[in-house]
């Protein structure tokens, strides 16, 4: 009944009293119930068995963490100690350790993150009507270097004191999201050091991934984390709006102390749980991950599933518990697709968190073996009346956030420097997962009456939004919030350029090449150059597009990737002209073999094209490259007798004229198989000969309107 009352208030505000009563009664009479799930035991190890998990290189283990943390749920504060054992895997000698202190992004208006975000993120805001401050921070209280001559502490040790520690000095950077710790003596190649840090983390009111909302607590990037040392030096980027996370792999042992009523989800596996004095103490182990996140909420309900030994745990809000089977189906579909395409998922658990409505800012975010999803769009009475249905909300978020377990969790590229390697490649893989799931190359994801929107159509529509401002292969800071170009470029344009290449070289060849990339670079922090090099190695420098006997046209793979990744060139082809015209006759004066002028026949009488015999005319097609992206394109030409031919054009010049003597052209289409996902506007890709075209005056404006409606729908769903 409480659900019905709340819905009544919202509907009366936005939809009028009649709709409010109908919606309230509908929801009140259809109260949610928790679907049953079979018990699935906690795995005994954080990694799957060796035969199931794939290759896990030992030298990729760089930073191990042992954390003790206590949550004060009333103050929304965590006090803790973290012991980090770090190995110098480079040839450099360093005299400092550099830390990410991400939570400091939320402590004041003048941090780099807040200056860009201006207190808002994905429609959520830090500001609230109450007077309680919503700021968050992480405050380092002490940093100690432990005796590096001593053996490392046993895995899981909860006692974090050490003999003869050396107190170290530290200082925040120009922005407080980065911190430098000065070592008491340099650390050479292949050496390791163990440092221990005491800290207090004040959670912000959740509006951007992490924080609290009432009793709900989401803890992401909540502790001091060591940065990545590369050959060229420390990679410790300032945390800005679009710059996500980059860290090395290691093993985590985490002891959590929370109120007894809290239901907790976390990265890794639960090893131990005990309750005493009104508190719950939990120990989690996570292996070969680059982060540890956790969530606590007394209102969670649990739903369990399993796939090939992987435990799938959902933590849901009661009002959305009925959606658990749909999310589980999406999760299993994503696992089946991505394991087949990119190799084994190495960990034994997946935790899916459904955040409460007042904490939407924490939804749709990925962490190792744990991610937050979004709700499935509630079915309203009017949806059935207008024939509306969709498979985007909730289910798509689950597929997308799980996909990050590969591109962000397993490959772990630098998200600040090249965000497209995670967000874009993941978005591309999501489309493949949906195709695999539906067994369709063009699956329908939204429907309104008899109008449908497919994955391909929605991808093209989102490409219309500011994808020509910044190249795909750009750092996160090059996409300022004011340009609104980050999502359309990094996510959708990357997916489109990869889908286009896949279509040009052939699905089997491309899929095999991407599998090599995924297997080769597991746990290795690949760069964009690594991906491009792998594609060129596996696909070859050129792909022949034409059939035997035709004019040879090839795709230069390197040139294509260079344009797509490093320029803002736009793909746009247009049928400039499709017509039939009188063929040139022999009427008039001509010189014979003796040099004398002969003939003199009068010019042919004016006759309509429709009245000319086929041998008296020629069909003409002019295709134009309106965009500055140079790309081969195929044309399909249909003649009046029903015959169809195809021709490739290399797309280098501004236009190309095709002439067919004695053939009457009826219609021409550019890119008939819709291979070029990078081309967003396609209404100019087909043209009829004027004498055959039946322009009803509605097709083009209706087509434009449908595109606008689909784009509005996409924006309304928050994608």
Which of 4-18, 102-116, 408-422, 545-559 shows the lowest mean pLDDT across its residues?
Answer: 4-18
- Going by pLDDT thresholds of 50, 70 and 90, the confidence category of residue 158 is very low
626 — pLDDT class (breaks 50, 70, 90)? very high
Closest alpha carbon to 234 in 165, 183, 197: 183
Burial (0-12, 13-18, 19+ Cβ within 10 Å), 684: middle
* 414: pLDDT strictly greater than 60: yes
Question: What does the pLDDT average to over 433-444?
Answer: 93
Q: Edge-to-edge strand order for the sheet containing 451-454?
A: 388-390, 444-448, 451-454
Taking residues 407-428, what's their average pLDDT?
Answer: 97
Residues 6+ apart with CB under 8 A from 567: 471, 629
Bridge partners of 282?
256, 273
Is residue 7 predicted with pLDDT exceeding 50? Answer: no
- 3-class state of residue 657 by DSSP: strand
- The residue behind tokens 């990094």 is 490
- Computed on alpha carbons and rounded to an integer, the radius of gyration of the chain in Å comes to 30
Span 451-481, pLDDT tens digits: 888 888 888 887 888 899 999 999 999 999 9
pLDDT of residue 717: 39
Average pLDDT over residues 672-700: 82
pLDDT at position 150:
47
What is the pLDDT confidence band of residue 21, given thresholds at 50, 70 and 90? very low
Given strand 617-625, what is the order of strands in its sheet?
Answer: 573-582, 617-625, 655-661
The order of strands in the sheet holding 301-307 is: 301-307, 310-316, 349-354, 370-373, 365-367
Q: In which residue are the tokens 């429609």 written?
A: 123
Q: Residue 186 has what pLDDT?
A: 97
DSSP SS3 for 458:
helix
pLDDT surpasses 50 at 266: yes
pLDDT, one tens digit per residue, over 659-681 is 999 999 999 999 999 999 999 99
Q: Is the pLDDT of residue 706 over 60?
A: no
Mean pLDDT of 86-99: 97
Q: Which of 190-204, 239-253, 445-459, 471-485 has the lowest mean pLDDT?
A: 445-459
Task: Write out pLDDT tens, residues 484-509.
Answer: 999 999 999 999 999 999 999 999 99
Q: Left if phi > 0, otherwise alpha if psi is -120 to 50, otherwise beta: which for 588?
A: left
**Residue that wins the pLDDT comparison between 90 and 450:** 90
**Helix-helix angle 507-520:528-539, to 10 degrees:** 140
Average pLDDT, the chain: 89
Q: Which residues, 6+ apart, have CB-to-CB distance to 491 below 8 Å?
A: 423, 424, 427
Identify whether the C-beta of residue 672 lies closer than 8 Å to the C-beta of residue 687.
no
> Taking a C-beta distance cutoff of 8 angstroms, is the pair 692, 686 a contact?
no
Tell me: the pLDDT tens digits for 94-131?
999 999 999 999 999 999 999 999 888 887 888 765 65
Does residue 637 contact residue 658 with C-beta atoms inside 8 Å?
Answer: yes
Dump pLDDT digits (tens) for 302-354.
999 999 999 999 999 999 999 999 999 999 999 999 999 999 999 999 999 99
Choose the weakest-confidence range: 267-276, 286-295, 588-597.
588-597
Question: What does the pLDDT read at residue 673?
Answer: 96
Q: What is the 3-state secondary structure (H, E, C) of 539-580?
A: HCCEEECCCCCCCCCEEEHHHHHHHHHHCCCCCCEEEEEEEE
b/e 64-103 (16+ beta carbons within 10 angstroms → b): bbbbbbebebeebebbbbbbbbbbbbbeeebebbbbbbbb
Percent pLDDT > 70 in the chain is 88
Residue 703: predicted pLDDT: 55
CATH of domain 569-588+601-688: 2.60.40
- Rounded-to-integer distance, Cα 338 and Cα 344, Å: 8
Please tell me the least confidently modeled range out of 144-158, 181-195, 235-249, 360-374: 144-158
Q: Is the pLDDT of residue 79 over 90?
A: yes
- Inform me whether the pLDDT recorded for 616 exceeds 70: yes
């Amino acid at each position: 009944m409480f659900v019905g009352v709340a819905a009544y208030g919202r509907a009366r505000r936005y939809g009028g009293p009649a709709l409010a009563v109908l919606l309230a009664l509908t929801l009140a009479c259809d109260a949610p119930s928790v679907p049953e799930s079979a018990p699935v035991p906690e795995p005994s190890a954080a990694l799957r068995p060796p035969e199931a998990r794939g290759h896990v290189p030992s030298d990729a283990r760089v930073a191990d963490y042992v954390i003790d943390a206590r949550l004060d749920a009333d103050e929304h504060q965590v006090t803790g100690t973290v012991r980090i054992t770090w190995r110098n895997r480079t040839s450099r000698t360093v005299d400092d350790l550099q830390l990410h202190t991400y939570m400091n992004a939320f402590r004041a208006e003048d941090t780099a993150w807040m200056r860009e975000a201006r207190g808002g993120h994905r429609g959520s805001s830090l500001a609230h009507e109450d007077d309680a401050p919503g700021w968050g921070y992480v405050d380092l209280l002490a940093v100690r270097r432990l005796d590096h001559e001593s053996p490392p502490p046993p895995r899981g040790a909860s006692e974090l004191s050490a003999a003869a520690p050396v107190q170290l000095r530290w200082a925040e950077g120009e922005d407080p999201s980065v911190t430098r710790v000065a070592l008491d003596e340099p650390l050479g190649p292949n050496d390791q050091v163990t440092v221990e840090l005491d800290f207090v983390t004040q959670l912000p009111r959740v509006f951007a991934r992490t924080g609290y909302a009432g009793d709900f607590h989401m803890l992401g990037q909540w502790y001091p984390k060591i940065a990545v040392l590369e050959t060229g030096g420390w990679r410790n980027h300032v945390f800005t709006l679009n710059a996500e996370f980059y860290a090395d792999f290691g093993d985590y042992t985490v002891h959590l102390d929370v109120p007894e009523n809290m239901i907790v989800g976390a990265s890794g596996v639960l090893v131990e749980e005990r309750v005493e004095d009104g508190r719950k103490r939990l120990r989690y182990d996570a292996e070969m991950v680059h982060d540890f996140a956790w969530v606590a909420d007394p209102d969670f309900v649990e739903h369990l599933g399993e796939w090939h030994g992987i435990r799938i745990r959902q933590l849901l809000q009661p009002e959305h518990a009925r959606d658990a089977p749909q999310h589980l189906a999406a999760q299993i579909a994503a696992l089946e697709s991505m394991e087949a395409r990119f190799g084994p998922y190495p960990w034994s658990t997946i935790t899916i968190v459904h955040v409460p409505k007042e904490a939407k800012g924490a939804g749709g975010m990925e962490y190792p073996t744990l991610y937050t999803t979004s709700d499935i769009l509630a079915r309203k009475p009017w949806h059935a009346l207008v024939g509306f249905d969709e498979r985007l909300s909730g289910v798509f978020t689950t597929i997308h956030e799980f996909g990050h377990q590969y591109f962000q969790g397993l490959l772990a590229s630098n998200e600040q420097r090249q965000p497209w390697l995670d967000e874009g490649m993941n978005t591309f893989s999501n489309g493949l997962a949906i195709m695999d799931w539906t067994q369709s190359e063009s699956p329908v994801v939204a429907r309104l009456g008899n109008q449908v929107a497919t994955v391909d159509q929605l991808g093209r529509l989102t490409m219309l939004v500011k994808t020509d401002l910044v190249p795909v292969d750009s750092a996160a800071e090059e996409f300022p919030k004011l340009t609104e170009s980050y999502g359309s470029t990094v996510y959708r344009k990357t997916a489109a350029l990869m889908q286009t290449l896949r279509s040009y070289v052939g699905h089997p060849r491309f899929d095999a090449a991407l599998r090599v990339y995924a297997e080769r670079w597991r746990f290795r922090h690949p760069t964009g150059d690594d991906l491009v090099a792998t594609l060129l190695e596996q696909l070859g420098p050129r792909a022949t597009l034409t059939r035997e006997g035709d004019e040879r046209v090839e795709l230069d793979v390197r040139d294509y990737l260079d344009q797509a990744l490093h320029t803002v060139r736009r793909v746009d082809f247009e049928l400039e002209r499709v017509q039939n015209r009188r063929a040139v006759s022999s009427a008039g004066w001509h010189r014979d073999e003796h040099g004398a002028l002969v003939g003199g026949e009068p010019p042919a009488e004016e006759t309509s094209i429709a009245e000319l015999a086929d041998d008296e005319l020629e069909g003409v097609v002019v295709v134009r490259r309106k965009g500055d992206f140079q790309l081969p394109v195929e044309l399909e030409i249909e003649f009046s007798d029903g015959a169809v031919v195809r021709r490739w054009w290399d797309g280098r010049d501004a236009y190309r004229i095709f002439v067919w003597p004695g053939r009457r052209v009826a219609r021409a289409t550019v890119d008939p198989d819709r291979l070029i996902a990078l081309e967003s506007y396609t209404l100019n890709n087909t043209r009829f000969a004027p004498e055959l075209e039946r322009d009803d005056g509605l097709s083009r404006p209706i087509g434009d309107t449908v595109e606008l409606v689909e784009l509005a729908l996409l924006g309304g769903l928050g994608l």
